[in-house]
Amino acid sequence: MAKLKVKFACTECGTESPKWLGKCPGCGQWNTMVEEKETVVKTQGMGSPLIQTKEKPRPIIHIESGQEKRIETTNLELNRVLGGGVVPGSLILVGGDPGIGKSTLLLQTSHALAAKNLTVLYISGEESVRQTRLRADRLGALTDKLYVLCETNMEQINDAIESVQPDFLVIDSIQTVYDPNVQSAPGSVSQVRECTAHFMRVAKIKGIATVLVGHVTKEGAIAGPRLLEHMVDCVLYFEGERHHSYRLLRAVKNRFGSTNEIGIFEMGEEGLREVNNPSELFLSERPLGVSGSTVVAAMEGTRPVLVEMQALVATTNFPSPRRMATGIDHNRMTLIVAVLEKRMGMFLQTQDAYLNVAGGIRLDEPAVDLAAAVSIASSFRDAPTRPFDVFFGEIGLTGEVRAVSRAEQRVKEAQKLGFKRVIMPKKSLKGWTPPAGIEIIGVETVAEALSKAFA
């Protein structure tokens, strides 16, 4: 006989408690405990009653290895983020703000795979089949191997999987799916956890590559318990500014590849388009010969991108001047401003300073320091730097310019895009020969860099 139990679970980490608590004892977050009703059904063991396998432990040397077969999507950016394609039987979680393009990306991917003669099942819990068809019309994603179902009941979804036998399965979204054996509402901690666990078993046993779409909370994390991220093989975030047309796909966890890669897409009338040369996109609106604008050679994963860095320094009206950074860490900017004040004698105490990475991309590596410093100095002095200079290098507290990784790739990208000079850390010049046709200036201090930039 099933017994109804009331408990409270944290929406962040899944910690359970018999009574409500203001602060979660598991993760320390406030106001995250929500009531969950759960019917406790006695089952044998942990396995789902729907699927049972009898596997014995085997010596590891008897397990066939071979290269992991991957399904290559036609989308090079997606392949890159996944580490070379979709692994059969893997479970991928895709998160992102509403309206960012998750459904669009997955419908396009589904279509591309169906066009390669794979059977694809797209389960939409948010849109009707007609809406999905309308979207597919716009995207030109019409193939007969692409099956669409609008359903949220997990048992029905299971029947559909049984009848279609897909190679690739999309659940859009995991928060709308519910298991009728669990009493809580769809989207609650227990439902999301149970359903994900179920899809994980189905994926592993049947070898279906499965993509779950997840909503994100206000803070930007995937809604639902944190353990969701532990259960799946890959966690991808689809991000971007609503007012910019391009989107970044970033892996934060990947059991089959690196998490350093990003995929860049542009949202257009016909859905998402891959962006193969991001630097051109990021530099397309750059004004030439104005003060406060420089170009940085940054790395996004293993790929160099050139991005414009803008600074504006203006006399403040406040007792303490404002420091605002968009696209780079605020603390790094404060540090760079302090170095310029102390080591370069720039009187920035009475100046507001704004720093912006143009185009809305976020650069998290310290190699962007030098470009930020030169931009701020350029705006402060109201003196433009040469329009075809590129900067990179980390700045230390004594005003030294420190070595950064992958200098050669950054320089090559700058050369490819027709830049004339690179001002970079001297220590990063060791061990490789700079290409011809571009002037390389190795510097050791910020002072040296500024004197070269404004020469």
Sites of contact with ligand TYD (CB under 6 A) = 96, 98-104, 135, 138-139, 267, 269-271
84 torsion bin: left (phi>0), alpha (psi -120 to 50), beta (else) = left
Helices (H), 140-283: 154-164, 189-206, 227-231, 278-283
Token pair for residue 181? 């054996």
* Cα Rg, the chain, nearest whole Å: 26
- Give yes or no for a contact between 393 and 354, defined as CB atoms under 8 angstroms apart: no
Nearest one of 278, 277, 251, 267 to 108, comparing CA atoms: 267
Q: Which is nearer to ligand TYD, 222 or 346 (CB)?
A: 222
Residue 135's binding partner among Mg ion, ligand TYD, none (Cβ under 5 to 8 angstroms by kind) is ligand TYD
For Mg ion, the nearest residue by Cβ is 103
Token pair for residue 395? 């700045």
Total interface residues for Mg ion by CB under 5 A: 1
**Shortest distance in whole angstroms from residue 177 CB to ligand TYD:** 15
Q: Which is nearer to Mg ion, 103 or 379 (CB)?
A: 103
Q: Interface with Mg ion includes 103 (CB under 5 A)?
A: yes
Q: Which is nearer to ligand TYD, 140 or 287 (CB)?
A: 140
**Shortest distance in whole angstroms from residue 250 CB to ligand TYD:** 15
**Shortest distance in whole angstroms from residue 239 CB to ligand TYD:** 11
Q: Which is nearer to ligand TYD, 69 or 130 (CB)?
A: 130
Cα atoms in the 13 Å half-sphere on the side-chain side of 411: 24
What is the β-pairing status of strands 33-40 and 91-96?
A: unpaired
CA angle 348, 353, 356 (to 5 degrees): 145
One-letter identity of residue 427: K
Q: Which is nearer to ligand TYD, 24 or 262 (CB)?
A: 262
**Shortest distance in whole angstroms from residue 270 CB to ligand TYD:** 6
Distance CA 113, CA 422 (A): 43
Candidates 71-79, 101-109, 153-161, 274-282; binding stretch for Mg ion (CB under 5 A): 101-109
- Give yes or no for a contact between 425 and 381, defined as CB atoms under 8 angstroms apart: no
**Shortest distance in whole angstroms from residue 150 CB to ligand TYD:** 14
Q: Which is nearer to ligand TYD, 104 or 190 (CB)?
A: 104
**Shortest distance in whole angstroms from residue 129 CB to Mg ion:** 14
Candidates 69-77, 100-108, 391-399, 422-430; binding stretch for Mg ion (CB under 5 A): 100-108
Q: Which is nearer to ligand TYD, 270 or 280 (CB)?
A: 270
Distance CA 6, CA 39 (A): 9
Residue 104's binding partner among Mg ion, ligand TYD, none (Cβ under 5 to 8 angstroms by kind) is ligand TYD
**Shortest distance in whole angstroms from residue 38 CB to Mg ion:** 28
Q: Interface with Mg ion includes 378 (CB under 5 A)?
A: no
Helix (H, G, I), strand (E, B) or coil at 30: strand
Nearest one of 403, 353, 396 to 378, comparing CA atoms: 353
Residue 83's binding partner among Mg ion, ligand TYD, none (Cβ under 5 to 8 angstroms by kind) is none
Give residues in contact with Mg ion (CB under 5 A): 103
